[in-house]
Amino acid sequence: MTLTRPPVLVDYEDVAWFRDQPEAARGAAAALGRRVGLGEQRTAQLVLAVAELTGNLTKHAIDGSLLLRVVRTHPEPGADASAGVEVIAVDGGPGMADIPAALRDGMSTSGTLGIGLGAVQRLADTFDIHSRPGTGTIQLARFWPRPAPRSASGEPAVAGLTRPISGEQTCGDAWAARADSGHVPSGGGHAPVGGERVTGGGHVPAARDHVPTAGPRGGGASTQGRSGAERPSWSALTNPRSYQARPAVPSRAGTPPEASDVRPAVAGRTAPVRAAVPGRGEGLLVMCCDGLGHGPQAALAAQAAVQAFHAATGRTPGQVMEHVHRALRGTRGAAVAIARLEPDGRLLFCGIGNITAALVTAADRTTLMSQPGIVGHQMRQLRTYETELPATGVLVMHSDGLSERWSAADLAGLLHHPPGVIAASLLRQAATRRDDAGVVVARTPR
């Protein structure tokens, strides 16, 4: 099966969280709207919606917080990129028993501007809400300039959230995604494969990725800004073992590299593959990264991982992991997990370190296995696993800033919502404020 169009992806920038700061949130929304070119009227509508959401959080919610971030489209050839603003409001209760009633006009909350959630829904280009009594409410609203760009139609296939440890301004967790069409630009070079990507800063020089994933026996925010600043040689300080790239595994005689060793995944089973290769058609590569520790140095490692992920020419998780490993040698290092999702449901996964990855359906959660190590310092032989992601399921990856004490039942009523809402629900339920937290959710690009 081949995609007729690439999955919808957008870039996310300038992540800012607000707790008990309604004035600051309104001011930040106004500043973001003006900076990205929403226009005076559209920016005023954004600020009005933020005022309603923050008013509700302040007056009625338990542990409420609001996220603002810039979203940028990937335009079609010949079109200009467009930027908008995304708002996510999260609280821990009391929740809404009747969402349709809450969205009706006239159902405004006391003490707010009184426009009501129904008006927020009408003002936003995209609006989604999930609420459960006793658990809390998550609301997502996205604002684009007028007229809204065609590239903004549809819901992104991947979305994630990062939040720094309490007291820090920078987050050492990161996530990224990019589409892989299998087309390498003519003229050689090492440009990223495919034309779509999510998050990440500038590119780093790309070494040639010639190493496929390793054999069957393995060893035992989105961040913001650029990572061009000089970094200390943490590798030298910790004296890591040297890492030698393995020779490429040739494809079988008479078969193209894209077709060799491709085996259909068996539903419900996860198996290691000796020489993982991408399937035919469009694929979606997704990464979750946790820089060691927290603070600026952890953020530098995470930024370097995001840049290397986008710059890598590799098409399988193992190949991209090799590239990220080389790029992180001058940093603290990180735990990294990379997955490739394909239109037929096939999923390849390669993880190093303490990143939780799971396939989640309404009835089941299947955890994917990572290998011990520190990307950028010590990686034993890589191991890539192949499995199948059901059409109704999602891939969830998160750092150890979130507890693993969540189940498929916790997400059963959320799977039809946008990935950003699912990620916000997990962050609310499982994240700790004693560590950086990062989570990314992806759907199969069918």
Among 107-116, 183-192, 410-419, where is mean pLDDT lowest?
Answer: 183-192
Question: Whole-model pTM?
Answer: 0.80
Q: Each residue of 273-290: pLDDT tens digit?
A: 766 888 877 899 999 999
**Nearest alpha carbon to residue 42 among 142, 140, 150:** 142
User: What does the pLDDT look like over 378-412, one tens digit per residue?
Assistant: 998 899 999 999 999 999 999 999 999 999 999 98
Look at 29-38, 75-84, 151-160 and tell me which has the smallest mean pLDDT.
Answer: 75-84
Alpha helices in 124-252 (DSSP H): 234-238
Least confident residue range of 84-98, 196-210, 281-295, 374-388: 196-210
Give the lowest-confidence range in 274-283, 335-344, 380-389, 432-441.
274-283
Q: How far apart are CA 306 and CA 313, in angstroms?
A: 14
Task: Dump pLDDT digits (tens) for 117-138.
Answer: 899 999 999 999 999 999 999 9
pLDDT at position 313 over 50: yes
Percentages helix, strand, coil for the chain, rounded to the nearest 5? Answer: 20, 25, 50
Mean pLDDT of the chain: 80
């992104």: which residue's tokens? 156
Residue carrying the six token digits 């996510």: 88
Distance CA 12, CA 440 (A): 13
Q: Which residue has the tokens 């009227």?
A: 41
